[in-house]
Each structure stands twice: as C-alpha cells, then as structure tokens.
Amino acid sequence: MLTPSHTMELVSDNNLTADIHSIPPDRAFYLSCQPPRQPGTGVKHTPCDIVLVIDVSSSMETDAPLPDLEDGVKEDTGLSILDLVKHSGRAIIENLNKCDRLAIVTFSDDAKVIQELTPMTDYNKEKTNIRIEGLQALSMTNLWAGIRSGLQLFKNAEFSNNVQGLFILTDGLPNHMCPRQGYVNKMKPMLTDMARAKDSAGATMPTIHTFGFGYHIHSDLMQSIAEIGNGNYAFIPDAGMIGTVFVHAVANLFSTFAVNATLEVEASSNLKLRCSTVFNTERPSKTLTVFHLGNLQYGQSRDIILTYDDLRGLVPSIKAKLSYKDRYGRVYTIKLDPQSSPAKDVYAYHTLRSHLCDHISSFFPICPSTNEHTAFNEGSKSSDKFNLAVGSLRKFTFTTSFHPLASDPRIASLLNDLTAPEGEQHGQVSKAVQTSVNTSGSSPTTRQQNHYKRWGRHYLPSLLHAHARQVCNSFKDPGPLMYGHDSPLFIKCRDELDAAFENLPAPKPTRHRGGPHGHSNVGRTPTFKAKTANSVISIQATTIPVKMSRYHCRSNPCFSGSSKVLLADNSLLPVEQLRPGHQVWTQAGARKVVAILRTDPLPSLASPRATMDMTDRGVLCKLKNLLVTPWHPVLVNDTWTFPADVAEEVKVCDEPVYSLLLEEQERQQELLVADNDNDDDTAHTVMVGGVVAVTLGHGITRATAVATTTATKGEMDKQGDIRAHDFFGDWTRVKHALDSLQADNEGRVRCGGVLRDEKTGLVYGFLPVLADADAGGIEGLTRPRVEVVASTA
C-alpha cells in the first residue's frame, strides 16, 4: 500500500542540463537533455523494484534450441523456453541486494502471485530461486490477468523509493480473457488512476517492458503495451539472444537517473507538434502538448526532434518545460527557452535517427478503434501501403548514404543498421522488409524467403524502441550500441549481469534429449581435469552441463598474448609482440601478418566461480604444449580435429587474446577454377606452442571441403571440413570487418566480440569497441566470452 508523503516541486536541474533549439528551415525544434554521467561514489546500482510477469502457458514448454551451429546443424540441449526464462530470473536475482525488491506473477488460464515484492536479502534470494525453479508450464495464455496482477502488486506493496519496472515475458498470442476494447484502451485509464494515486503519495510510476520469444509472438501488441507503459519491447528470436536482451534490459533499469520525465510544450492553437521518438503523448488543450519520456539514464542523453507543418514562413514561438522525478518522488522542473542552432553534427545525427524511427513506425500504423499497432501484411489489402513504406525506407537509406556527414561514427551506425555491402550480415532493416529473396542455386523450397513475415515484423519494433528511447538493448545491432557507452554505471551493471548469466549453475533441462547433435559432443567419454587456483576438478565429457554462454554468445577464435608463434626465420615471438608486417611460418612457406585483432576476456573468467565445462568460451584444453578452446581446429596426425577429442585436461584463461590475419596469396591464372577457392588454405596456418592451428580468412567456407591436408578431392570426409566457416573462412569479409575497427598506435585492432545473425546465430562480423568509459577502470566495451588458444611453452 502507498504511504502518503509530501510532494515537492523544485525549480532546479538536479545536475541535469537541458536546452531547446528552434530550427526554422526544418520546421522543427530540437530538445536535448543530459543527465549526470554517473551517481555519487559507492552506488552499486539504482535500487529497483522488479515484478516479473511470466507466461507459463503450454507453449513455454517447447524447446529452446541454440541458433544453428557453424555447419548449419541444430543442437538440442533439452532446455525449454521456460527453463531459460527461469535462468534469466536467477541472473537478475544474483545482482540484486537488500535494497532491491522482486515479485513474481505467472499467467496461464489465470494469473497467480508466486511472490509479492520482497527485499532481496541473502535468505530471500534463496527462497525466490526455489520459487522460480518450481515454475511449470500449464495451459492457456491470459495475458490480461498477468498485467493486472503485476500492476496490483505495485499498488499494494509497502511504500519504497525504488525505481519500478514491470517485465512481461511471453512467447505467443493471448488467447483467453482479452479485453474487448483492446489492451491499450483498457490500460490507459487504469494507469492514469494509478499515476494520480502515486503522485498524491509522492511515489513514482513503474515502467512496463515486454519481451517476446520466437516467431509467433503478437509483436504489435507487445509494442503497444510497452509504449503505453513508457517502456521498451524486446524481440528474442531464439535462445542465442535471450541472455543479452535480459542483461541489457536490467542494466538500463539499474542505471536510471530519473523517472516519469515529461516535456510540456505550450504554443499557439494552430501549431500541432509531432515526434517520431515519443509514443505516449497527450494534448490536454489546444495550446498544450505533453510528451511522456519515461525514464532517463545516467550518462545517456535524451534527444527529441519536434516537427510542425509549414506556417507560410512564420516562425512559431513556444514555451517548454521539462519535468522529472528522482526516485524519492521529488519533482524537478526546468523551464526552457529556444536557443540558437545546435552543433551541426549532433543535430544531423538525431534528425536522421528521428527519420529512421519514423520510417520504421510506418510499418505499424495505429488502429483508431483499439489505439494499438497493427503490422502491415504484405499479402493483404494493406499491400500497397506496405510497398509504399518499403519504397520510402529505401529512398531514405539511399539519401542517408550520401549525407555529407555519413562518415560520422554515429551516422555510420545508423547506416549499418539500414544496409550493408554485399555479403555482409548487418543491415538488418533492409533485410527485415524483404518479402522474397531469390538465391541463385537454391532449391525451390528454399529460394523464396519472406523475411518480413518470419522475423522482420517482430524485429523492427524492437529496434525502433531502442533508437527512440536511446537505450542499448543488446550487443547485436550497430546503432543501439552507441547508447550507454558514456555511462560507467550502465557498463558496470551490464558486465556484472553478463557474468552472472554465464557463470551461474546451468539450468536443469526439463525436456528429454535424444542424444548429442552437431558439435555438442556430449556423448563422448574422455575425462578432463579443470584447474582453478585452489583445486583440480575431474570432468567426464558425457556429464558436461549446458553452459549459458551458448545463450549469450559473442565468441571469437584467438591466441593468448603469451603464446609463442614460429616466425619465418625459425625464431619464436609471443603473439602479443607481433605487428603487421612480421613474417610468420606457415605450411606453405613464409607469410606476412596483415592484421592483429585483440579481444579482452570477461574478468569473471579468472573467478573460481567459473563453471568448468567444455562449452565455456574461457576454458582451454591442453594438447601437448598448447592450450586451446575445445572447438578450435588444430592439426593432429595430418587431420584437422577438435581439441575436445584429444585433450588431457582443461583450465581457465584470463588474459587478452589475439587473432591473426595473414596476407592473401597472389592469385595465379592457372589456379583459377570456377568452383574452388583460389587461395591455399595451408598458407593460413601458424605454429603456436608446437601445434599447427588455423588463422582468420583461411579460405574454407564450404562444409564439403577436404578434411585432411593429405586427402585428394575424391577423398572428402563425409562430415565436411571442420574448419569451414562462412565468415572466419572468407578472407575478404574478415578484412573488410577488420578495416571497420579502430587500430592502436602499434597497428593492432580491437574488437568487443563478434556479431551474430539474429535468425541463424552464425557469426558475421566483429563488434566494435567503444571508447573507455572513465579513468576508474570501467571499460566502455561489450566484453566477450572468447575462444582462446594459449601456449604453455
């Protein structure tokens, strides 16, 4: 229940700066507000109240397979979607403390309160974990009951000054007791009454965030619910994205500076203002427009473009007021007067970002009767409107690519969201609106791919919310990665949640597995030993548990910096001392190093808590004098094999790791064959610690390649070459990806992990490293769980 308290309005900035600019040539106003970069010292995170509203309908019991492995094989781990949701809940609990509270509501035929808002003391954490573990899938999908019960918990709970968030997790379509007037029409008066009660008590409103699993989700409804609740919608296509989506969602809540922010603009009665990045607006009178901004995060600006129609050359005058609450319910107000033009590059970026949001929104118009979004269907009566939206988006993409400031990193990130060079896998927006793709050589059953119908209509509103609210919602898309990188608190919370998700004990599969699939290799029987600082643990491959980094994956095959590589002159040099231009030994003779890629591992890799299993990206297999990841191909007895098959023991590595790209062999005309790679794969090998291993861009991109260096073309291995990889094996694509990364003074480039395709989970590029967050040692980068090769020599 709410305990009334005195509400105080302060005409102050509370360390937040804000200004508004009039841009008459564009018929626009530009508002920018900048919260403080970080809170005071000693703040672990902003205290939070989180209510998890979890779908436990029967469909949540279906399998949650990993994205396809690199050879296209699917792996079944025995985990259901509900298993992974429960694991994500445990990761959240791991990072809460006694100042935070957590509640759990489930919904199926009806809603059930599993736990009311409870302080997360150590004792209560144990109890909460037990309750989460006990969740079981039931029958129908009564989403409305779940929302109503979740909001009621905030009403009934003892008053607190915590930032509040309602997280709705579902995988399907509501099919039971849906409001006749629509969810938004039903929720709006309920939220209005709740806000009024909260205001009178000096409390704050919760934001509502929705998470949709799989390809059968009602995304336009999830989008609508999040918008009326001033929150975000996140699309989780498969198990490979579940970790990163939850990590970023909670990290954003943990780094909240202010809540219930609003922008009030008073103008003449004939001036109608529009904004493509604020979805919850009101017009109480003909002269007043209220834009509900929701939460503001430490270190992340909020930038709003307001546009108006042509007034026949007249420049309108406005009065603007920005208001927000701190978590104690105190109201702060800043009165704004239009100023001169802002910095050209900043304004250009936010204008283009606003236009991008406008174009994406055009695919999801609002139905007047329900006030909910309804996605265009390219095969229905709305097909003409869909085609117009696609054409408009393509025109915007074309004009943006020729923008005078297109090379600006921020604008370049938008372009990378929109489109990509041939053969690259980013540019998801242009792919998301494709209704058919003709693939040369494809079979009739696979030639036509309706990306929009399968995943585009779910992905686009998720990306829209990230750009509109300027929040980083995953490690995947280039554009949203620009948000939050100047917030040390967000980075700290994200990295701690990231480590918790990967290092907690793996969930117990509730589905029966028929056996190993693809590269899981769980059916093999060798015994390994995992070393920590204090113990040696024996493990059998047949009992290797599921490792959660597979569901939160940014791996990159590398060598450790201390590994000694054989140079062309037969001398040895640590990999970390290599520079572009060095000549190294390869099976085909001396080769020049073109690029050295550095990736930093997670700090948690050195922790005794780290789970010792063969799927952990920080666990190394020992092979003679070499330490190597389980699935990094090495040459043993003239056969490329996985170290997992021949390793003696495993250990954990905690040092920076490096990847090498060697020069591409000059193509000789007599070697040109239409169906064969021109480069010699043996020239893309190095000797590390006395063992031969592959390097980047090795030229093998087909699983039908020869499996041994001594076999002939007629002696192909039935399983294909284990080195084959469509990205790591393609020299040109790797080089192009490396060229987009920043280099240090010694010529080495750095990345923050790898980018994976949303649908297949396959690697298609390198994740750029953002600038260091502060001098306190918090790095502004997305830390990967990396594949490492280390020499013991």
Tell me the average pLDDT across 142-150: 96
Q: What is the DSSP string of 628-669?
A: E-TTS-EEETTEEE-GGGT-S-EEE--S-EEEEEEPPPPPPG
| Phi, psi for residue 704 in degrees, rounded to 5 | -95, 10
Residue among 716, 725, 738 at smallest CA distance from 698: 725
Strand intervals (E) in 231-350: 233-236, 256-266, 280-282, 288-297, 302-307, 319-325, 331-336, 338-339
Cβ burial of 441 (10 Å; 0-12, 13-18, 19+) is exposed
In percent, the amount of the chain with pLDDT more than 70 equals 74
Q: For the chain, give me the number of helices (H) and strands (E)?
A: 14, 36
Residue among 72, 51, 757 at smallest CA distance from 425: 757
CATH class of 47-68+77-254: alpha beta
CA distance 405 to 413: 12
- Does residue 487 contact residue 37 with C-beta atoms inside 8 Å? yes
Evaluate if residue 242 carries a pLDDT over 90.
no
CA distance 108 to 476: 32
- Of residues 76 and 320, more confidently modeled: 320
Evaluate if residue 200 carries a pLDDT over 50.
yes
pLDDT for 503-513, tens place per residue?
Answer: 777 777 776 54
78-82, 248-252, 639-643: lowest mean pLDDT where?
639-643
pLDDT value at residue 67:
56
Provide the Cα torsion 481, 601, 575, 623; round to 10°.
Answer: -130
pLDDT value at residue 556:
52
- Of residues 371 and 701, more confidently modeled: 371
Cβ burial of 62 (10 Å; 0-12, 13-18, 19+) is middle
pLDDT value at residue 66:
61
pLDDT value at residue 593:
93
Domain spans in the chain, listed from the N-terminal domain onward: 9-40+258-342, 47-68+77-254, 344-477, 552-610+629-640+655-791
pLDDT for 694-744, tens place per residue?
Answer: 889 888 875 434 433 333 333 334 346 778 888 888 898 899 889 888 888
Evaluate if residue 677 carries a pLDDT over 50.
no
pLDDT value at residue 666:
57
Evaluate if residue 298 carries a pLDDT over 50.
yes
Residue 537 pLDDT level (bands cut at 50, 70, 90): very low
46-50, 223-227, 405-409, 643-647: lowest mean pLDDT where?
643-647
Sign of the Cα pseudo-torsion (227, 228, 231, 237, in order): negative
Tell me the average pLDDT across 111-127: 96
pLDDT value at residue 604:
40
Evaluate if residue 680 carries a pLDDT over 90.
no
Sign of the Cα pseudo-torsion (578, 581, 587, 589, in order): negative
pLDDT value at residue 776:
35
CA distance 627 to 369: 63
- Does residue 55 contact residue 170 with C-beta atoms inside 8 Å? yes
Residue 428 pLDDT level (bands cut at 50, 70, 90): confident
Provide the Cα torsion 740, 742, 743, 748; round to 10°.
Answer: -70
294-298, 677-681, 687-691: lowest mean pLDDT where?
677-681
Distance of CA 105 to the CA centre of its chain: 25
234-243, 476-485, 539-548: lowest mean pLDDT where?
539-548
461-470, 532-541, 656-665, 698-707: lowest mean pLDDT where?
532-541
Report the run of H or E that residue 221 belongs to, with start and end: helix 219-228
- Does residue 240 contact residue 551 with C-beta atoms inside 8 Å? yes
- Of residues 408 and 639, more confidently modeled: 408
Tell me the average pLDDT across 562-575: 84
Evaluate if residue 210 carries a pLDDT over 80.
yes
Tell me the average pLDDT across 82-101: 89
Q: For domain 9-40+258-342, say whether CATH 2.20.25.90 is its number.
A: no
pLDDT value at residue 780:
32
Tell me the average pLDDT across 541-551: 43
Buried b (16+ CB within 10 A) or exposed e, 119-134: bbeeebbeebbeebee
Strand intervals (E) in 62-203: 101-107, 111-119, 163-170
Distance of CA 678 to the CA centre of its chain: 36
CA distances from 92 to 160, 169, 243, 317, 524 (A): 20, 14, 11, 47, 34
Sign of the Cα pseudo-torsion (227, 229, 232, 236, in order): negative
Evaluate if residue 13 carries a pLDDT over 70.
no
Tell me the average pLDDT across 680-690: 84
Cβ atoms within 10 Å, residue 422: 4
pLDDT value at residue 703:
45
- Of residues 693 and 756, more confidently modeled: 693
Residue 608 pLDDT level (bands cut at 50, 70, 90): very low
Q: For helices 344-361 and 457-469, what crossing angle results, to 10°?
A: 150
pLDDT value at residue 92:
87
Partners of residue 285 on adjacent β-strands: none
- Written as six digits, the tokens of 274 are 């529009």
CA distance 550 to 545: 11
Evaluate if residue 152 carries a pLDDT over 90.
yes
List all residues 6 or more positions away from 195 whose beta carbon is below 8 Å from its beta carbon: 205, 260
Evaluate if residue 474 carries a pLDDT over 70.
yes
In percent, the amount of the chain with pLDDT more than 90 equals 42
pLDDT for 442-457, tens place per residue?
Answer: 443 334 468 898 899 9
| Phi, psi for residue 421 in degrees, rounded to 5 | -60, 160
pLDDT value at residue 276:
96
Residue 758 pLDDT level (bands cut at 50, 70, 90): low
CA distance 16 to 476: 30
DSSP alpha helix (H) spans, 608-749: 731-739
Cβ atoms within 10 Å, residue 287: 15
Tell me the average pLDDT across 251-273: 92
List all residues 6 or more positions away from 142 whose beta carbon is below 8 Å from its beta carbon: 107, 108, 109, 110, 111, 174, 176, 177
Evaluate if residue 560 carries a pLDDT over 80.
no
| Helix then strand then coil, % of the chain, to nearest 5 | 25, 25, 50
pLDDT value at residue 541:
32
- Does residue 150 contact residue 53 with C-beta atoms inside 8 Å? yes
Mean pLDDT over the full length of the chain: 78
pLDDT value at residue 601:
64
Partners of residue 659 on adjacent β-strands: 597
- Of residues 483 and 607, more confidently modeled: 483
Residue 268 pLDDT level (bands cut at 50, 70, 90): confident
- Written as six digits, the tokens of 292 are 């509900």
pLDDT value at residue 192:
93
Residue among 580, 575, 585, 570 at smallest CA distance from 687: 585
Residue 310 pLDDT level (bands cut at 50, 70, 90): confident
Evaluate if residue 361 carries a pLDDT over 70.
yes
- Of residues 379 and 563, more confidently modeled: 563
- Does residue 304 contact residue 31 with C-beta atoms inside 8 Å? yes
Residue 379 pLDDT level (bands cut at 50, 70, 90): low
CA distance 189 to 600: 50
Evaluate if residue 387 carries a pLDDT over 50.
yes
CA distance 429 to 390: 10
pLDDT value at residue 459:
95
